[in-house]
Amino acid sequence: MSQPERRVIEFDAVTTLEDIRAARERIRSAVHETPCRRSETLSRLAGAEVYLKLENLQPTGSFKERGALNRLLLIPEGERRRGVICASAGNHAQGVAYHAGRLGIPATICMPEGTPLVKVSSTRGYGAEVVLHGANYDEAYEEARRREREQGLLFIHPFDDAAVIAGQGTIGLELLEQLPDVDAVYVPVGGGGLGAGIAVALHGLRPAVRLIGVEARVIAPMKASLEAGRRVTLDPAMSIADGISVRTAGEQTFEIFQRHVERVLAVDEEEIASAILLLLEKEKTVAEGAGAAGLAGLLHGGATEKGTVAVIVSGGNIDVNLVARIIERGLVKAGRLVRLVVKVPDRPGALARLTAALAEQRVNIIEIFHNRASGRSTLGEALVELTLETRGPDHVEALRGALVARGYDVELDR
């Protein structure tokens, strides 16, 4: 069976400032100019003037639609009916699906099988055909390229495409208008399309601005590539920042990073989770793991910043179940949620006396389990396992001391 006829549409492989300016005019009517908001809390924590560029407020919840739309608009009218295909962990998929649907272009999206449900559902909701394939982005990518060849579709790369890079670079133009005195910009990095586009825009207009990329430590291909002086491919790894969990940096993006990016930091999973919680609690903004990576880099990357710093909050498409786990874990780390195991006599009134003692310490009981059969207690004793809401570490220590003073055997489960 012969393959469908396919015309390959080529683009200049070098993204320029002029390309980014043209992209901005091209996508202006369909993509939001997102706010760049100063944070009092983050400024105090970082010791600098910190502003958040909120790309999580785009219609699809991510910056990705900028590059996707720019690429789609550059496809000649006669070629659009053939349809497009891409591989994505979620945000590029939604950007392509949303704008392809608006433009009447058939879209097929290959996503890893473990992609968060919220991203799969949203992509399907925009009218695209979703194919779940493989354990990671690379396997989904190979399936997309196979379908591209067999079905004659146009592949839209999530980051290693000059038109996509130019679209992402429009953030840099907006940022300089909103924050003309910016000294440094922290940006999440996966394949590098976002950082590359912003770097070209910033250094084309204000070369003194420093750009710092941030990757998840468990899978940081751009950092490894810059250190090796060549592109390297890492083993697959799972990260809370699934949107930037790619094994290989882009060819075009790597070259731009070599020229324009000051450094790339790597942050731990706990640091990313802490940044998600901080944005949610203090800034009232929802960020996914990749979206919060830039803030994690600023607060935990080891650099001391002065002056004016912009942090790109690149996306907010996070599974609510993950949010719940992050909140609970964060409360435990902050000493605001504590688990105690207390031994009490196994006789009437013992549990009532314990809860009265807890009430005196002004703690709130979230969960309680009374266990008489545990091997950790003797006959005549019971274990009471408690989850308590407290005001912080000092309150926890005061509570523990008060219980011990009353003769209770208390085990603190941190």
* Non-local CB neighbours of 124 within 8 Å, separated by 6+ positions: 130
Q: Among all residues, which ones are annotated catalytic? A: 64, 314
124 vs 97: CA distance, rounded Å: 8
CA separation, residue 402 to residues 125, 133, 341, 359, 413 (Å): 55, 56, 14, 12, 17
21 vs 174: CA distance, rounded Å: 11
Its sign, for the CA torsion 146, 149, 154, 160, is positive
Contacts 24+ apart (CB under 8 A), 326-333: 326/273, 326/276, 326/277, 327/277, 327/280, 329/273, 330/273, 330/274, 330/277, 332/414, 333/274
Q: Can you read off the two tokens belonging to residue 89?
A: 């962990």
Cross-strand bridge partners of residue 111: 132
Query: Which residue carries 């440094």 as its tokens?
Result: 184
* CB neighbour burial string for 233-246, b if at least 16 within 10 angstroms, e if fewer: ebebeebbbbbbbb
